[in-house]
Amino acid sequence: MRKVKSIKTKILIRIVLSFILLSIIMQGIVFLSFRSFSLESTKEKALTVAELIRDTITSFMILGVYDRRDIFIDRIKSAHGLKDVNILRGATVINQFGGQKNINHIKTSLEAEVLQTGKINASLNEDLARVEYSLVIPYKATANESVKCLNCHSAKDGDVLGAVSLVMDLSAQRQKGISSVSYMLIVSLVFSIGTLYMIYVFFKPYTSLFQKLNHGFQKVEDGDFSEKIIVNLIDEAGDVAGGFNAMTDNLSKTLSAVSNKVSLLIGHRMEESGNALKDTARTVDMLVKIYKYKRTIEKDSRKNEVFMRLEQTIEEMGIDKYSIYEVDSQKNTIQSISVSCPNEGTLKSMEREQVNTDSEVCWCNMAIKSNADECRAKRTGNFVDSRDFPLICPSFAYTRESLTGQLNYFCIPIFIGGQVGDVVQIIYDRAESDSVRDAIPYVKSFIQESDSVIEAKTFMELLRKQSLVDALTGLYNRRFLDEIYLKICSQTLRRNTVLGILMIDIDFFKQVNDTYGHDVGDKVLEKISSIIKNSVRDADIVVRYGGEEIIALLVDVTEGRSLDVAEKMRQRIQEETIEFPGGVLKKTISIGVSEYPNNADKFWQCVKYADTVLYKAKEDGRNRVYVFNRDMWDKVEY
């Protein structure tokens, strides 16, 4: 059954039901009262008539005119509207005087019961056609009344001498009662209809107000505060309408102010959906997330951790195709920090060192890797949006989907020190367009909050790199070796490989400084350092150990491989010519080689072994490579 929602209909239904119920109750009460009153009146009338008949019949008996009894009874029936009168003799009278005609003919069980019990009894017999009231009154022998019954009757005090049975037709009275109740019902109905109409007219403005309030609140729920309620009421209902209008105005102004302040805070206006409430709730929720995000990245120790948070945030917004590129401003190149490729999955910022270089750029041409200016976002420092201009950036890896608008991209530059240092690229297809476009303003906000942190982390990493790199040679310094050796040793043991340790010294380097000056000595040191660095792999580590001493760590080599690398290195330097203003030089190096953990289970002990054989090589004439063995060490401790 459909529920009734209209308050006007509910009120009318309740009032109508109340009136109907009240009318039924009142009519029932009136009918029962009328019935009770009629029965009591009839009973009193019957008692009076019965007493009259008893007294008159007794008088007839005393006066000797008993034969006039039938005439008297007929006149009584006619005068009082009696349907039947029956005079009954009791057993005592019958025993004394015998029965007579028309006397003691018991017609009903009620009459027999009264003669037996001596108590007045009555019954009401009614159906749709008629109503009859029967009353049987007993006559008892008594010595206390004016007529001394015991003088004539051989009976005791209290014996039933007879009874008078009366039957009264109440059909007319019932019809009158029904007519009266009907008149009252009609009057009540007319009154009810009039009352209902007055109530309807009175409540109509209020029910209209409720309907307008309901419609207004529905619009408020949808974030629309334009609804205004106009009513011609000057009571509390009018105050409610005015309060609603004031509430919507205040909400509209407040939410508009919140939106404007948020736009000033984040630097751009969020796209609106038309529902101010949902837009504000979403904006506030996003501001809370941005605040927590900012607090988190400020405590991250490395820039890659910040990019990892940014990746998580982008993915939480439902964006699964994106790239983050880092610009090397000195070399004007670009490398991928994070990239999601349809064929290769997603490369996280923390995993990029393990990815093949050819797969680092997925959505753009490889040309941007060697020339960062090929990237439009980097070159212009502006947002790049392909939705309006599909060919806006020539360096995008165009496919049929992108050329036909099935695949779009949006690039956001991140500034480091006044220049574009990173670029976030968002890729989306046509089916994702609405959701991604809704998310882009929030991505901008997160990136904006990341700008200063990324910039600070970049400068911190640059400073740290400068503190760990020797300014002259470009090699790592001793401080870097102190920080990294434990990690390298653990990696070597875990992989069950060998760490080759090459201790290198430039032969007769002091003579260069003494003969040609320190400028030439620096040039020689720089040149030899470059040759050593180019003689090993990118994963290997070359450290300026001190003065003209250099140590090279060969990571994950096989046993004996270190000697081959050292020998090739020595030969390259021996063959190299070093030019300087005023002449040329040729230099040689001596190398001592040890292997961890083959020679010792302690890293610095292996370094000491390499240093020992280095000096052995120098003692034996220089320009040679020696490998450590146990016979070269005669000390108990290193």
Q: Pick from 302, 318, 321: which is nearest to 411 by CA? A: 321
For residues 111 and 121, is the Cβ–Cβ distance under 8 A? no
Q: Helix-strand-coil percent breakdown of the chain, rounded to 5? A: 55, 20, 25
Q: Is 548 a catalytic residue?
A: yes
For residues 345 and 385, is the Cβ–Cβ distance under 8 A? no
Burial 302-337 (b: 16+ CB within 10 A, else e): ebbbbbbbbbebbeebebebbbbbbbeeeeeebbbb
Rounded to 5°, the CA angle 115-118-121 comes to: 85
- φ/ψ (deg, to 5) at 583: 165, -170
Q: Which amino acid is at 478?
A: R
> Which DSSP symbol is given to 397?
-
Place of tokens 């209008």: 245
Q: Which strand (E) or helix (H) includes residue 225?
A: none
Widest distance between CA atoms in the chain:
188
- As to burial, measured by CB atoms within 10 angstroms (0-12 exposed, 13-18 middle, 19+ buried), residue 87 is buried
Q: Going by DSSP bridges, is the β-strand pair 345-347/333-341 parallel, antiparallel, or unpaired?
A: antiparallel
Integer angstrom CA distances of residue 506 from 155, 568, 609: 167, 15, 18
Set 461, 548, 576, 579: catalytic member? 548
Integer angstrom CA distances of residue 22 from 13, 15, 37, 190, 504: 14, 10, 22, 14, 115
Burial 379-416 (b: 16+ CB within 10 A, else e): beeeebbbeeebeebebbeeeeebeeeebbbbbbbbeb
Q: Which residues are catalytically annotated?
A: 548
